[in-house]
A and B are shown apart, each in its own frame.
Chain A
Amino acid sequence: MNSIEVVVNMAQDDDVRSMASFVQKANEYDSSIYIQVDDKKINAKSIMGMISLGILKDKRIRILVEGEDEETAAEEILSYLNKDR
């Protein structure tokens, strides 16, 4: 299992849409991808789950990736999140 820790830096007024595109990105992989914020662990492929986390801006989150393509998934998700900055 791959585990990455990042601080989210999404534009606040565009939060739901950037979440939707993040969910879209997560759905590209076969691996199961989970986002951990505080004591919550949410499936990153679920739009409702991600919205329920609320605004993630400036929050420290942990991304857990497990599956056959976990290496590429972890790498690409990290660069996807960094690209947003």
Chain B
Amino acid sequence: MDLYNPSEEITYKVSLEKIVGQEMFQLENLTPQMDISHIFIDKTDVNRPSLQIAGYFDVFNNNRIQILGEGENDYISKHYKDGGAGQIEKIFQKRIPALIYTKDLKPTDEIIALGKKYDTPIFVTPLRTSILIASLVHFLQQELAPRITAHGVLMDVFGEGVLITGESGIGKSETAISLIKDGHRLVSDDSVEIKKVDDVLYGQAPELTRYFIELRGVGILDVKTMFGVESVKDRKIVSLVVHLEEWDRTKEYDRLGMEDRYIKILGVDVPYYDVPVSPGRNEAIIIESAAINHRQKNMGYNAARELYNKVLKSLDKPGDEDNDR
């Protein structure tokens, strides 16, 4: 079973109640008596029904939240004597999840009554339309993002999000503690919730176990109180995976790092390192080195390639290196 790339398509939903509850949207409910607990959104887009106000219904994304701004309201006041009630009713007839007015442009009582008739909640916000749309889409993308729970430790090492994976008991948590002692930050121990938004993987800890770490033989530790707030981070982009495994003599490990290896998580390629563990190897330093090397590669410097080029050059001009001095 491929745990990083679930085969079954899951459609995530977010309740309208949760959206309304977000303070950043500053939504005032104009139909407070209505029960909205059964309304869920599963689309990350929102819609401005400008064309529908003008009468065009051939294409209409009725399953999205509808937002009316200044432009639509101005059009309504200039083109419809009834304050737009007739047009809005046609939109309500298409069964939309909710209607939001921006810039404090409250609808007429007639429209509110229509909302009640069609069981469609109406909200108003003081925000500008573009601001509301941007923040609402961002919120919906987070809430509806494909996600998995990975078994591993997520650390912020020199600004790189390193997901440390490996069998139970291989020493992931022990490595994490060493890294924390060296000034790096813990995001999550043992279980990491990873969400994909715009092909970027965001990792965070499950609410219940946030900033706790389990150290075999010692028990549960609270990293935040033990090492302070500087030792934890709530969310981090997963930028590389380091897989710890027992040293297998028959297996070939990367000795040069010329070619990049990747692992797919939720369909996104993430650089991947297989690191053999054996007594005397300091995993924390290996992970630090991997993180710095990854940073350096991102900045355009590949140590293995530089060495390779150097070797090639020395082959071209034998003896040159000695004459340089």
| Beta-carbon contact of B149 and A48 below 8 Å | no
Closest CB in chain A relative to B193 CB, distance in Å: 8
Closest CB in chain A relative to B299 CB, distance in Å: 34
| Beta-carbon contact of B151 and A49 below 8 Å | yes
Main secondary structure of the interface of A (DSSP, over half): mixed
Which chain B positions have C-beta within 8 A of A46? 151, 168, 190-191
| Beta-carbon contact of B189 and A48 below 8 Å | yes
| Beta-carbon contact of A52 and B168 below 8 Å | no
Task: Give Cα A1 to B7, complex, Å.
Answer: 15
Tell yes or no: B1 within 8 A of A by CB. Answer: yes
A51 contacts which of B12, B149, B209 (Cβ < 8 Å)? B209
Task: Give Cα A45 to B151, complex, Å.
Answer: 10
Within 8 A of B (CB), among A26-40: 27, 32, 34, 39-40
Tell yes or no: B206 within 8 A of A by CB. Answer: yes
Count how many chain B residues have C-beta atoms less than 8 Å from C-beta atoms of the other chain. 22
Chain B window 194-226, contacts with chain A (Cβ cutoff 8 Å), 1 for yes, 0 for no: 000000000001111100111000000000000
Chain A window 51-63, contacts with chain B (Cβ cutoff 8 Å), 1 for yes, 0 for no: 1101000000000
Task: Give Cα A39 to B194, complex, Å.
Answer: 13
Query: Which partner residue on chain A sits nearest B188 by CB separation?
Result: A48
Task: Give Cα A34 to B1, complex, Å.
Answer: 10
Which chain B positions have C-beta within 8 A of A74? none
Task: Give Cα A42 to B190, complex, Å.
Answer: 10
Task: Give Cα A49 to B191, complex, Å.
Answer: 5
The 22 listed contacts between A and B (C-beta, < 8 Å) are A1-B1, A34-B1, A39-B10, A39-B147, A41-B3, A41-B149, A42-B191, A43-B151, A43-B168, A46-B151, A46-B190, A46-B191, A48-B190, A49-B149, A49-B151, A51-B209, A52-B149, A52-B207, A52-B208, A52-B209, A64-B1, A66-B1
